[in-house]
Amino acid sequence: FFFNPYEGIAEAQESRGLGDVYKRQDLMHVRLSDESVCIGAPSPTDSYLNIPSIISAMEVTDSDAVHPGYGFLSENADFAEQVKNSGFSFIGPTAETIRMMGDKISAIEVMREAGVPTVPGSNGPLDENDARALELAREIGFPIIIKAAAGGGGRGMRVVYNETELLNSIKVSSTEAQSFFGSGIVYLEKFLENPRHVEIQVIGDGEGDAIHLGDRDCSLQRRHQKVLEEAPAPDIPDALRNEVAATCIQACKNMKYRGAGTLEFLYQDERFYFIEMNTRVQVEHPVTEMITGIDIIKEQIHIAFTGDTALIQDEIKPRGHALECRINAEDPSKNFQPSPGIISVCHQPSGFRTRVDGSIFQGYKITPYYDSMVCKLICHGRNRNEAIQRMLRSLDEFVIEGITTTIDLHKKLLTHKKFVESDFNVSWLDNEKII
């Protein structure tokens, strides 16, 4: 069953002036569930981020385990800990692992010890010593990036191009980090000017065994939000891919990693630089499922219940190429402002090697409470070109009326010379006027 933040709170909602509320039949995940429980009002802090409320829902339904999905509490160590202490299984890594990887400085340390390539940087937090900070920055070489140890979601980073801005920027970054993330600890890294974002999917059994499922390229981003992802990452020498993946496995073995995770890298001039690890399944995991034939969610659940994985590295043979387009309820012509509303017409594409992950339907109402991503379209092909052609055919078939979506943006992106030639980096989409 799923926890439902709506049902049963219509009156409370209306009395708080929050307007219309959802009923059971309005939400696909609730419709499909055998049972649903109200966990609070639509505002995430009242429901999906409300730990006591979720644990109570697990208790009243006599649950065995919780799958945290992505977003919300999926990388929250306190949640994982409280779930375990209440006698339930958390489908994911241990609270200790989540905590260790959630602190970017300790994550980098674990990776360095395992031989994972990292970005040249301060290798630890900055202290109050201004002279030392300047010395470090000179050693690393400008431009540098100041990052919050507890940062996330693309926030808490500041690029510095010369010495005069450095000390003030460190102070401002630390103050901001304190107010955003509750920790003012910051560190320095070399700022790479035109990297791609390449990540490696790993799965560990929690007992010291781990495998990888290859890589993905997620360089097409707007304001640090991924827009279109693909697997495998194009144009990387196989020997290099395999070498880096082997170091990722070593890191997972060292920390006895449990479940699915992703090591994120920047890739520039045929070199990988680790930036962070996500200790959950990611939005873009379907592209990896499509090329490996492995159901990552099933593996997560299997490992949580058995402490074992049946996956064997030598048997994993990625085939072909997969793309994922995130379909957002946003208006690209109005600076991507959210476009909530009711979907009046909905026709979803289908056919050979075409997959839609999502829960939209005709009559579905998109509220302003959550992320604007409403579904994902994933296509697989024998090679990258076939995957692109299949995606274009599927995007043409996709009809969503009543709201504005990013479907047209994807069509333009997929036919853009730079995309076709894989000639892009993480800042390309922010700087290119596609629509």
Active site positions, annotated:
280
**Minimum distance between the CB of residue 277 and ligand ADP, rounded to whole angstroms?**
9
How is 90-102 classified by DSSP, letter by letter?
A: ESSS-HHHHHHHH
Complex with ligand ADP: residue 89 or 225, whichever CB lies closer: 225
Q: Measured between alpha carbons, how far is 71 from 235 in angstroms, rounded to an integer?
A: 30
ω before 232 within 30° of 0 (cis)? yes
d(CA 326, CA 38): 28
Q: What are phi and psi of 358, to 5 degrees?
A: 165, -175
Report the nearest approach of ligand ADP to the CB of residue 361 (Å).
31
Q: What are phi and psi of 169, to 5 degrees?
A: -65, -35
Least distance (Å) between residue 89 CB and ligand ADP: 26
In whole angstroms, the minimum distance from the beta carbon of 251 to ligand ADP comes to 16
Angle 289-309-83 (CA atoms, 0-180°, nearest 5)? Answer: 90
DSSP at 75: T
Q: Phi, psi (5° rounding) for residue 258?
A: -115, 125
Minimum separation from the CB atom of position 104 to ligand ADP (A):
7
| Whole-number Å distance between alpha carbons of 138 and 151 | 24
Does an H or E element contain 346, and which?
strand 345-347
**What are 231's strand-pairing partners?**
322
Of 283 and 379, CB closest to ligand ADP: 283
Q: Which two tokens stand for residue 38?
A: 């109200």
353 CB burial (10 A radius; 0-12, 13-18, 19+): middle
In the complex, the residues that contact ligand ADP under the rule CB under 6 A are 119, 145, 151-155, 157, 189-192, 195, 197, 224, 264, 266, 275-276, 426
The residue (of 9 and 150) whose beta carbon lies closer to ligand ADP is 150
Nearer residue to ligand ADP within complex by CB, 58 or 228: 228
DSSP β-bridge partners for residue 274: 118, 265
Distance CA 288, CA 320 (A): 11
Nearest to 123 by CA among 108, 113, 134: 108
Q: Which is nearer to ligand ADP, 222 or 365 (CB)?
A: 222
The answer to whether 160 touches 169, Cβ cutoff 8 Å, is yes
Nearer of residues 155 and 412 to ligand ADP, judged by Cβ? 155
Smallest gap from residue 155 Cβ to ligand ADP (A): 6
Give the Cα separation of 289 and 260 in Å (integer): 12
Min dist CB 159 to ligand ADP, Å, is: 8
Q: Which residues pair with 423 in a beta bridge?
A: none
CA–CA separation, 66 and 82 (whole Å): 12
Pick the closer one to ligand ADP by CB: 151 or 204. 151
